[in-house]
Amino acid sequence: MIVMIDNYDSFTYNVVQKLGVPFLAVDLLKDVISNQYLINEVSVFIQVDTDEQLHVDGKPGYYERVDEGKYIFKEGKYWIQEFILEEFLKREYLNNR
């Protein structure tokens, strides 16, 4: 099943891409007057230390971005640090050979 996400997806995705980091949590606030999203905090730490902590509706897993504003839920136990390390190695070592 593909899940549609509001227009803040492009905004946060672009922030992560422009900073050039393999992983980043972006906290947002929505200004009700201007109807714009504002960055409240960015962090590389999200306090998820084990594969048991990523759950959606009681099921272990994560959302994978498949297109702008579109995500697919990947059920299973995943260690987020492994994703981060894999992305870092791809960017810094594997793509430079």
Counting residues of the chain whose pLDDT is more than 90, the rounded percentage is 6
Helices (H), the chain: 8-19, 80-92
| 35-76 pLDDT, tens digit each | 888 888 888 877 777 777 788 888 998 888 888 888 889 999
Q: How many domains does the chain have?
A: 1
Mean pLDDT of 13-28: 83
Whats the size of the chain, residue-wise? 97
Q: How far apart are CA 5 and CA 37, in angstroms?
A: 14
Query: 73 and 3 in contact (C-beta within 8 Å)?
Result: yes
> Which residues constitute the domain of residue 22?
2-96
Burial code of 50-81, b = ≥16 C-beta within 10 A, e = fewer?
eeeebeeeeeebbeeeeeebebeeeeeeeebe
